Amino acid sequence: MAQQHLDPPTDPTAGPVTSDALAGYLRAQATEFLRSLRQHRETGAGAASGSAESVAAARALRRSARRISGSLHTFRPLLDTDWSEGMRPELAWLSGTLAREHAYGARLERLLGALNRLSGAAALPAQAAGANAHTAPKGSLTVGAAKAGALLDRQLTLARTRAHSAALQALGSSRFHAVADSVAVLASEVPLTPAAPATDLRPPAAAAADRLTDAVAALPLVTAGHPYNAEALVHGLSADTAPQPQDAPWHQVRLLLRLHRYARELMYGDACPTDVRLLAAGQALNRHRDAAEAASAAASAARTPRIAPATAYALGVLHADQRHEVEAARFAFQQAWQKEAVRTL
Amino acid sequence: MAQQHLDPPTDPTAGPVTSDALAGYLRAQATEFLRSLRQHRETGAGAASGSAESVAAARALRRSARRISGSLHTFRPLLDTDWSEGMRPELAWLSGTLAREHAYGARLERLLGALNRLSGAAALPAQAAGANAHTAPKGSLTVGAAKAGALLDRQLTLARTRAHSAALQALGSSRFHAVADSVAVLASEVPLTPAAPATDLRPPAAAAADRLTDAVAALPLVTAGHPYNAEALVHGLSADTAPQPQDAPWHQVRLLLRLHRYARELMYGDACPTDVRLLAAGQALNRHRDAAEAASAAASAARTPRIAPATAYALGVLHADQRHEVEAARFAFQQAWQKEAVRTL
C-alpha cells in the first residue's frame, strides 16, 4: 500500500502556530485535571467500587493526564527538558493505575457478552452467564460456557477489586501528591524554553503525524484487507503465554494515533474539526486492543488448575472468538484508513 | 440482493435439445461407471486402506453415480418413472457409502493441518501433530494441541477404517450387484418414455437452474457479504450436538448447484464451457461443508470422557477456527456469486 499522507494537523490557510497555543492547551488540560481530581474526591472515591460520578471523574482525570503527557512528548523542544522528562513517567504511572480498574471491568463484560452470544443467548444481559452458572440448562457445552463465565467473573472481579484498591492507594500517596502539585503549577505557569516564543509548532506536530504514517505503512495492511486471512489466530495454540508479538505494531499505531489526535486538538484549538477517518481508525484500534487482552484473559483462565474439560473447551472457543475479533478490528482499521481523509466541521 | 438469473444452460444460438442428448449422457456415464468399477476391482480394492488407483477408481465411480442420479432427477419427465425412482435411492446409497471413507480422511487432514497452523507450525507436514504427541515441546497448550491431534487421529482413523470395510462390504453385496446390473442396462438402453423423443430438454434444465437461483436468493447473502459478521459461531457453545441448522440452506444450495452443473454438461455436451463463477461458488460450498463437518468433529471429540482440560481447550479453539472457516466460505460464495456470469471456452 502506498504511503498516505495525513491531513495536515493545522488549518492550512493559517500561518505559523505559536507557543501560546501549547501553553493554552496545557493550562486548560491541567485545569481539567484538577477539576476532575476534586470531583473524584467529592464523589465517594473511597467506596469499594466507585460510583458512576467517581468513575466519570477518574476517566476525565486519565483523559487530561494523557493529553498533558502526549503534548509534553510531541512538543518537547519547546518545554523545559528536566521538568517535562520528570513529569511524563509520573503521568503515565497515574493514568495506567487509574485505567486498570476500568479495563478489568470492561474485559469481563466483553467476555461474558461473547459467551452469551456463543451460547445463542444474545438476548440475555451480559452478567447472566456468570450469575446463572448453577441454573444453566443441561448439555455439557452449555454448562461449560456457564462455568467458564463464572471462572472469568471470579478472576476478573478479583483483579478489578485489587486494581480499585491500588488506585485508591495511589491517589493517597505522596507520589500522587507530587504529580498533582506539578499539574497545579502547570495550570498557571507553563515552563517553556527561552526559544519557545519564536518556535513554530507546525514542524513538531507534522513530525507526530509522520511517525503515525510511517508506523501505519509498516503494518501488514494488505493481509489485513483480505477478510478471513486467519492471521490473528496463528500461534493461537502456541505454548508462549506472553502477549502475541504480532499485536505490538498495532498497539504502537494506537498510541501514535492518539498523539496525533492530541496534536490536532492543540493546533486547531476550539475549532478542531472531527476527522471521521481518524475516529474510525482509533475505534478499530481500541477494539483490537480490547479483544487481544480478552483473548489473553480467556487463555490465562484456561490454565487454572483442576478446571473441567467442558470449561476449558468453552474458554478455547472464547479465545479463538476474541482472536477473530482482533482480526476483524484489523480489517476495520484497514478499511477506515484507506478512505480518503474527510473533514467535517 | 436482487434475484440474479443464471446463464441459460444451453448454447443460446442453438435450437431445442432433444432426448438424444439425455440418452447419450446417461449411456456415457453408465459406461464410465462400469469402467471405474472394473478398475476398482482390479486395483486391490480389498486392501485395508485402498491404493491410490483404487481411491481414484472409487472417486470416478461416485462421480458417475452422482451424474446418473442427478440427471434422472432433473429430467425425470422423460424417463420411465418406476425405473428412475427405483434407481435413484440405490445410487445415493452407493455414492454415500463410497464417499464416507474419503470424507473421514479429508476431515482428519483438515483438522491436523489447522492444529499445526494454530500452533504456529505451518511448515510441518499435516500428520506431525498427531504423530508427535509424545515429543511435543513443553507448555500446556502445545501439549493440548498435540493431544487433541492424537485424539482426532484415533477417532477419525477408526471411523475411516470402518467406512472402508463398509464400502468393501457394500461392493460385495447383492444390493450393489443389482445397482451394477441396472447401470449395465443403462449403458446400452436408456428407458425413455414414449413422449420423450418429442420433448425439449431446455425447460427441465431451466427449472433446475431456477431451483438453484431461488435457493440462493433465500440465503442470508447480505450478512455473508459483511466480513467478520460472527454469524457462523453463534450457537458455537450451545448444548445442541446436532449439525447447526443455519448450515442446512447452504448445503442445499451445494446440491442444487451440482444438479445445475450436471444439467449444463448434458445440454452442452463435449462443448460445455467452464463457468468460472459456478466453479468458484461450488468450491466455496465444498469448503463450507468440509469446515462445518470438521467443526462438528472437533466438538464431538471434546465430549470424549476423561480428556485433559488442555486437550479440551485446544479442541475448543479448533472448533471455533473451523466455524470461522464456515463463515469465510460463505463470504467467498457471496463474492463469487455476485460476480457477473463469465463464460470462458
| Cβ-nearest to A309 among B138, B140, B312 | B312
User: If pLDDT is split at 50, 70 and 90, which confidence band does A294 have?
Assistant: very high
pLDDT over 80 (residue A154): yes
Nearest residue on chain B to A237, alpha-carbon basis? B119
Chain B residues close to A324, C-beta within 8 Å: 228, 230, 233, 320, 324
CA–CA min distance A296, chain B (Å): 13
Q: How far is B54 from chain A (nearest CA, A)?
A: 35
- Among the partner-chain residues B138, B139, B237, the one whose CB lies closest to the CB of A119 is B237
Residues of chain A with Cβ-Cβ distance to B235 below 8 Å are: 118-120
Q: Do A238 and B314 touch (CB under 8 A)?
A: no
Name the region of A70 (left: φ>0; alpha: ψ -120 to 50; beta: rest).
Answer: alpha
Encode pLDDT of A223-236 as tens digits.
Answer: 999 999 999 998 88
- Residue A207 CB contacts under 8 Å (≥ 6 apart), including other chains: A74
Beta bridge partners of B344: B274
Q: Which of B313, B322, B330, B333 to mutate to test the interface with A (most CBs of A within 10 A)?
A: B313
Name the residue among A118, A140, A228 with its Cβ closest to that of B331: A228
Using one digit for the tens of pLDDT, what is the confidence trace for A272-286? 888 899 999 999 999
Per CB-CB distance under 8 Å, the chain B contacts of A141 are 237-239, 299, 302
| Interchain CB distance below 8 Å, B310 and A312 | yes
Residue B141, chain A, CB below 8 Å: the answer is yes
CB spacing of A228 vs B328 below 8 angstroms: yes
Q: Taking a C-beta distance cutoff of 8 angstroms, is the pair A330, A288 a contact? A: yes
Three-state SS for B343? strand
DSSP A252: H
Residue of B nearest to A232 (CA): B118
Residue B345: pLDDT band with limits 50, 70, 90 = very low
Query: Residue A317's pLDDT is what?
Result: 96
**φ, ψ dihedrals at B272, nearest 5°:** -60, 115
Q: Are A293 and A107 in contact (CB under 8 A)?
A: yes
Q: Among residues A324, A264, A276, A255, which one has the least CA distance to residue A21?
A: A264
Distance of CA B150 to the CA centre of its chain: 26
CB spacing of B230 vs A324 below 8 angstroms: yes
Q: Considering only alpha carbons, which residue of chain A is nearest residue B225?
A: A227
Q: Per mean pLDDT, which range of A18-27, A262-271, B120-129, B240-249 is the poorest? A: B120-129
Cβ under 8 Å to B: A residues 186-245:
227-228, 230, 233-241
- Which sign does the torsion angle of CA A18, A21, A24, A25 carry? negative
Higher pLDDT, B231 or B127: B231
d(CA A181, CA A171): 13
C-alpha angle with apex A132: A126 to A136, nearest 5 degrees?
Answer: 115
Residue from A115, A228, A317 whose CB has the most chain B CBs within 10 Å, to mutate: A317
A-chain CB neighbours of B318 within 8 Å are: 316
Run of H or E residues at B274? strand B274-275
Tell me what percent of the residues of chain B surpass a pLDDT of 70: 85
| Residue in the structure block whose three cell numbers are 489485513 | A224
pLDDT surpasses 80 at A200:
yes
Distance in angstroms (rounded) separating the CA atoms of residues A331 and A284: 9
pLDDT at A5 over 70: no
Q: What is the pLDDT of residues A110-150, one digit of tens each?
A: 999 999 999 876 544 444 444 444 444 444 458 899 999 99
In this complex, how many residue pairs, one in chain A and one in chain B, have their CB atoms less than 8 Å apart?
A: 164
Task: Kindly state whether B314 is in contact with chain A, defined as any CB-CB distance less than 8 angstroms.
Answer: yes
pLDDT bucket at A48, cuts 50 / 70 / 90: low
- Mean pLDDT, rounded, of chain B: 88
pLDDT band at A53 (very low <50, low <70, confident <90, very high): confident
The percentage of residues in chain A with a pLDDT greater than 70, rounded to a whole number, is 85
Q: Which amino acid is at B315?
A: L
Closest residue on chain A to B120 (Cα) = A235
Q: Write down the pLDDT at residue B269.
A: 84
Query: Do the Cβ atoms of B336 and B278 come closer than 8 Å?
Result: no
Cα B278 to Cα B15, B51, B201, B256, distances in angstroms: 24, 32, 21, 11
Does B134 contact A at CB distance below 8 Å? no
pLDDT of residue A155: 98
Helical (H) or strand (E) element with B275: strand B274-275
Burial class (CB in 10 A: 0-12, 13-18, 19+), A239: middle
Answer yes or no: is pLDDT of B129 > 50.
no
What is d(CA A20, CA A6) in angstroms, rounded to the nearest whole number?
24
Band the pLDDT of A88: cuts 50, 70, 90. very high
Q: Is the pLDDT of residue A292 over 90?
A: yes
Confidence label for B127 from pLDDT (cuts 50, 70 and 90): very low
What pLDDT is recorded for position A269? 84
Whether the CB of A319 is below 8 Å from some CB of chain B: the reply is: yes
Is the CB of A239 less than 8 angstroms away from the CB of B308? no
A152 burial level (CB within 10 Å; 0-12, 13-18, 19+): buried
Q: How far is B195 from chain A (nearest CA, A)?
A: 52
Note whether A296 contacts B: Cβ–Cβ < 8 A: no
Structure confidence by residue, pLDDT tens digits, B237-280:
876 666 688 999 999 999 999 999 999 999 988 788 888 999 99
Q: Please check the confidence at residue A190 and state whether its pLDDT lies above 50.
A: yes
